[in-house]
């Protein structure tokens, strides 16, 4: 049982590590290495692998001496290890027909992540093994659990998925329109970088992986809470305080000033709250209360996933606020629920 679990965990690790290795070898072949060491691509592949599991890094950039935490990691990168873990868990279950072997597989996978964090750390890029253990364990065990169990989701979870699908879908449309409007700025940022052909492909891949992060920030903007790209910055319909930004072409879609009329988009959240109240009229108060509770909890989770730090002190805060965004969007949602539930009662009086 242990041999099967260990073998499948190694295969699942390689499922993500090999593509990461291809990327780093391409980058190394084109850009070279600061230390001219052939071990750099292997370390780089490991760092990409760990980043795909949301493991934070402490980075020191020579020769400037700039250092800080890199926690604003691309959420889209988590899809590849999730597929590898799910396949490994299912194969382990098929070969052993034991749930215990799946948990053993997950334990081996987390142990490999911890080992790689120890082996890949150096002075410039340091990964604490306990942070690797802490951040990877919930992700690995959750994916393994859901991959081997069939669920019939409750009505509350179905409603929650519908609500977030509408919000993120609307945010995607808004971000796409903003990109089209500011296409010249996006082109200028790309020209400044001069990534070349292979570099352009890697830059496009990085941008795609960061799209979920940007969608969360877009939702925060449209609800009025806004988001930050650096300390003491805030981009919202009512406030525009922006400093230096990373040279990513997709950031050309950023607003160029205050746009109070964009607060109209917050009515979508109010409308979704009203729709939930209508959907649950025949379901009883319990389903409504459960969905509201799940939505409020999910807003804090989404805010956490969509925020982080980009190494330098100036970019120490990126993404939506961990408390302003959840509180504001929850208040708007509850307003919609309250309007649908209370207006009929007021009319009867």
Number of other CB atoms surrounding residue 328 within 10 Å: 20
Q: The tokens 């965004």 sit on which residue?
A: 325
The pLDDT score that the predictor gives to residue 272 is 96
Question: What are the residues facing 228 on neighbouring strands?
Answer: 319
pLDDT tens digits, residue range 236-259? Answer: 999 998 877 777 788 888 888 899
What pLDDT is recorded for position 11?
95
- Distances, alpha carbon 269 to alpha carbons 11, 103, 128, in Å: 43, 39, 39
Distance CA 104, CA 92 (A): 9
Contact 255, 177 (CB under 8 A): no
pLDDT number for residue 194: 72
Query: Tell me, what's the pLDDT at 236?
Result: 93
pLDDT < 70 positions in the chain: 29-39, 344-349
Cα–Cα distance, 94 to 147 (Å, whole number): 12
Q: How many helices (H) and strands (E) does the chain have?
A: 11, 7
Tell whether the torsion through CA atoms of 241, 244, 246 and 247 is positive or negative.
positive
Residue in the block written with tokens 């065990």: 141
Q: What is the pTM of this model?
A: 0.91
Rounded to an integer, what distance in angstroms lies between the CA atom of residue 173 and that of residue 29?
A: 37
Kindly state the tokens that stand for 151: 């669920």
- Read off the DSSP letter of residue 237: S
Edge to edge, what strands does the sheet with 318-320 contain?
A: 240-241, 234-235, 227-229, 318-320
Backbone Cα Rg of the chain: 23
Strand, helix or coil for residue 245: coil
Q: Give me the count of residues in the chain.
A: 349
Strands 125-126 vs 234-235: parallel, antiparallel or unpaired: unpaired
Q: Are 58 and 131 in contact, with CB atoms under 8 Å apart?
A: no
Contact between residue 243 and residue 233 where contact means Cβ atoms under 8 Å apart: yes
Cβ atoms within 10 Å of 145's Cβ, excluding its own: 15
Cis omega (within 30 of 0) on the bond before 227?
A: no
Bridge partners (DSSP) of residue 57 are 70
What confidence score (pLDDT) does residue 31 get? 60
Give the pLDDT of residue 232: 86
Task: Give dist(CA 248, CA 310) in Å, integer.
Answer: 13
């Amino acid at each position: 049982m242990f041999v099967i679990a260990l073998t499948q965990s190694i295969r699942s690790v390689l499922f993500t590590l090999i593509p990461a290795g291809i990327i780093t070898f391409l980058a190394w072949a084109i850009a070279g290495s600061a230390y001219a060491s052939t071990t750099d691509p292997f370390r780089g592949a490991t760092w990409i692998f760990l980043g795909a599991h949301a493991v934070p890094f402490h980075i020191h950039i020579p020769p400037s001496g700039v250092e800080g935490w890199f926690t604003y990691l691309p959420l889209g990168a988590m899809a590849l290890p999730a597929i590898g873990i799910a396949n490994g868990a299912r194969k382990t279950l098929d070969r052993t027909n034991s749930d215990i072997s799946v948990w053993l597989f997950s334990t081996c996978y987390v142990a490999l992540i911890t080992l790689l964090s120890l082996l890949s750390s150096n002075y410039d890029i340091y990964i604490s093994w306990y942070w690797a253990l802490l951040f990877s364990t919930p992700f690995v065990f959750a994916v393994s659990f859901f991959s081997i169990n069939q669920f019939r989701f409750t009505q509350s979870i179905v409603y929650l998925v519908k609500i977030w699908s509408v919000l993120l879908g609307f945010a995607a449309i808004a971000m796409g329109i903003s990109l089209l409007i500011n296409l010249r700025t996006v082109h200028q940022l790309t020209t400044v970088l001069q990534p070349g052909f292979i570099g352009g492909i890697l830059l496009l891949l990085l941008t795609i992986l960061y799209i979920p992060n940007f969608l969360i920030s877009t939702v925060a903007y449209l609800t009025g809470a806004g988001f930050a790209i650096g300390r003491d910055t805030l981009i919202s319909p009512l406030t525009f305080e922006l400093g230096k930004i990373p040279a990513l072409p997709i950031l050309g879609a950023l607003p160029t000033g205050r746009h109070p009329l964009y607060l109209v988009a917050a009515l979508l959240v109010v409308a979704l709250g009203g729709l939930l109240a209508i959907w649950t009229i025949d379901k009883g108060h319990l389903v409504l209360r459960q969905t509201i509770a799940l939505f409020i909890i999910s807003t804090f989770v989404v805010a956490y996933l969509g925020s982080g730090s980009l190494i330098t002190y100036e970019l120490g805060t990126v993404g939506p606020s961990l408390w302003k965004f959840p509180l504001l969007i929850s208040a708007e949602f509850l307003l919609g629920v309250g309007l649908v539930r209370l207006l009929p009662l007021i009319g009867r009086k």
